[in-house]
Amino acid sequence: MNNPFIFSSQPTAPLSLEHAKYMTVQTLRQNGRLTRTTIADITNYSASKLTKLTTELISEEIIVEVTEGGYTGGRRAKELFFNPSFGYFVAVVISVNKLEIAIVDFSETIRSRQMLLLQPSMLPADVLNQITTKITTRLNRLNIPIERVYGVGVTLPGAVNRTDGILYDTAVLPGWGGFQIGSFFREIFPYAIVKIERDTHAMAFAELRRGQGKLHNNFIYVHIGQTISAGLIIDGNIYYGANGRAGDIGNLSIDDDGNIIKLYELPSQTDSSQTDMNYLEDLSIAAQEGNDDAKAFIEAIALKVGQALSALVTLIDPEIILLGGLAQQWGHVFLASIRRHILKLSQSSSTQHLQVDIAPLGNEATVTGIVALTAEQVFVAQQ
């Protein structure tokens, strides 16, 4: 492979591109597969300039032609997207009680995926050592050298300081607050961009780039699990707030840790050996079977979420609210209840055209989002 960007003696990412090439590849990252005509329309480059740019990017093996496009003028329009083998990304999703590791190629297609249980008693360094061991083993099996990993994206279930990528103290991951996660991965993957992000920010970004959010520049993504948190998209960008804490809506209406479990008594027939998460996932089945305790529990959560969202709706005036996590299992009854509470508690002018829907990407949102966020930083424009 004739890759002009690989150097054995120094980190390769970010990769520097002439400005017009940079704009071309960023257009593809932000929009997915596109024809040359569409890229020219977006960038305002002439057809001849765009042809020259894409020809050079193809010769550098950064992008390739794909043929799944529609027809234009009787001929099949060739779309362009990233060469899958140009480089790779690693996605690490750290949740309350489990880990997910994915190896993703340059076209953002998952090549390998692995789920692991996370024991709350494990120290951060031990968890990260286990993660990197699993990653390097998978990379070796796929014959991917470390220097071809251009990005490592890590998500965490809590607010992350935007300046240094360090997780703030959080009850859901005790002992992780202040730990130098970014520095840890930079030592293992010296050729890569390392991106540390709050999970709900990654989920919201996934919906913006690949989901229903593509049609909206202002929306709220809400993830419902053991805690409740939100990702805010304003004017087509993640809104972080001053320090990265924007989206902590659980603390507005749930309890001191944003934890929905502690507020209510669990149905008596729930096996105490089940984890909290298993219990929450079983609620939808119990509610559908007519269990009054389960239905009351879900309705109580819908009220709390509706209360928190009504304040945000009045404040930022979103076009749509997307509900992820357990909202998918709890279904349309839960969705309808949240809609009802928001409409009742918000200003009518803010809800006149507001949509509230289940987020379409589902469980894929976290990996999709962190890869997209990391991939956008791989290239920089030459000054």
pLDDT (tens digit per residue) in 18-46? 999 999 999 999 999 999 999 999 999 99
Nearest of 347, 339, 361, 304 to residue 108 by alpha carbon: 361
Distance CA 191, CA 11 (A): 4
How many Cβ atoms sit within 10 Å of the Cβ of residue 200? Answer: 32
In the predicted structure, residue 72 carries a pLDDT above the cut 60 = no
174-to-128, 167, 178, 278, 303 alpha-carbon distances in Å:
15, 11, 11, 21, 28
236-to-130, 213, 214, 318 alpha-carbon distances in Å:
36, 9, 9, 11
Q: How many Cα atoms within 13 Å fall on the side-chain side of residue 228?
A: 29
> In the chain, how long is the greatest CA-to-CA distance?
71
pLDDT (tens digit per residue) in 327-375? 888 878 888 899 999 888 887 777 888 999 999 998 899 999 999 999 9
pLDDT of residue 202: 97
Domain 88-202+366-381 shares a fold with domain 212-360:
yes
Nearest of 191, 189, 195, 200 to residue 165 by alpha carbon: 195
Distance CA 190, CA 185 (A): 8
Q: Region of 72 please: left (phi>0), alpha (psi -120 to 50) or beta.
A: beta
Structure-token pair, residue 378: 């791989």
pLDDT of residue 267: 45
pTM of the full structure? 0.87
**Axis-axis angle for helices 124-141, 181-188 (nearest 10):** 30
Contacts within 8 Å (CB) and 24+ apart, 278-286:
280/225, 280/226, 280/326, 281/326, 281/329, 283/326, 283/329, 283/330, 284/326, 284/329, 284/330, 284/331
pLDDT (tens digit per residue) in 311-322? 888 888 999 999
In the predicted structure, residue 266 carries a pLDDT above the cut 70 = no
152-to-52, 162, 271, 337 alpha-carbon distances in Å:
31, 16, 39, 39
Percentage of the chain lying above the pLDDT 70 cut: 86
The architecture CATH gives domain 212-360: 2-Layer Sandwich (3.30)
For the chain, helix (H) and strand (E) counts, in that order, are 12, 17
- CATH of the domain spanning 88-202+366-381, picked from 3.40.50.300, 3.40.50.1000, 3.90.1490.10, 3.30.420.40: 3.30.420.40
Domain layout of the chain by residue ranges? 15-82, 88-202+366-381, 212-360
Output the CATH code of domain 15-82: 1.10.10.10
Mean pLDDT of the chain: 85
For 362-381, the DSSP string reads GGGHHHHHHHHHHHTTSEEE
